[in-house]
Amino acid sequence: MKVVFAKGLVSTLSEKMRAFGELETGGCLVGTIDGNRWTILAASDPPPDSIHEPAAFERGIAGLEEWLESQFALGRDYLGEWHTHPHELSSPEPSFADLDTHVAAAKRFDRALLLVILAVSPDNPQITATIVEPDGGLLR
Ligand SMILES: [Zn+2]
């Protein structure tokens, strides 16, 4: 598997991280899947009913369906989710809770899902991309 970020998308995500300071934030990812190549073309803002905490993010749903429909109309598919680990010295690796949540979602949808995590400093972002399979397998 190869995960590709559209040009400018990492800096867009950094700006979204910066906007929430010490609180985690996140949203949905859309793009294309071509064989083993996952290309991320856009990331949603956090829906306004999301819950932002220093070490947790629960994505809301307000307005998301409309955003996704607008993306599907461009020929993009839902790929998965992104969120931040914005604290000093935090790791961009998924936590056990992150993996539990995403494996459960992959099982529910019966498809592989992408989990992108952005960490540390908005000016020096570190990023991981993990593809979570319905059987709990992880691809990096
Ligand atoms: Zn996390």
CB-CB neighbours of 76 under 10 Å: 18
User: Which residue, 49, 119, 37, is CA-closest to 83?
Assistant: 119
pLDDT of res. 20: 95
Distance 90 CA to ligand 1 centre (A): 10
pLDDT in tens, 26-53: 999 999 999 999 999 999 999 999 999 9
pLDDT of res. 29: 98
DSSP 3-state assignment of 22?
coil
pLDDT in tens, 108-132: 999 999 999 999 765 666 899 999 9
Distance 58 CA to ligand 1 centre (A): 10
pLDDT band at 140 (very low <50, low <70, confident <90, very high): confident
pLDDT of res. 87: 83
Distance 133 CA to ligand 1 centre (A): 17
Tokens 């856009």 -> residue: 42
Domains contained in the chain, CATH given: 2-139 (3.40.140.10)
- Please give all residues whose CB falls under 5 A of ion ligand 1, grouped by chain where several chains appear: 95, 98
Distance 52 CA to ligand 1 centre (A): 12
pLDDT of res. 66: 98
In this structure, are strands 113-121 and 37-43 parallel, antiparallel, or unpaired? unpaired
| 3-state helix/strand/coil string of 121-138 | ECCEEEEEEEEECCCCCE
pLDDT of res. 139: 86
Cβ atoms 132, 1 nearer than 8 A: no
The residue ranking higher by pLDDT, 27 or 89, is: 27
92, two tokens? 């961009």
Instruction: Answer whether residue 85 shows pLDDT above 60.
Output: yes
Instruction: Answer whether residue 56 shows pLDDT above 90.
Output: yes
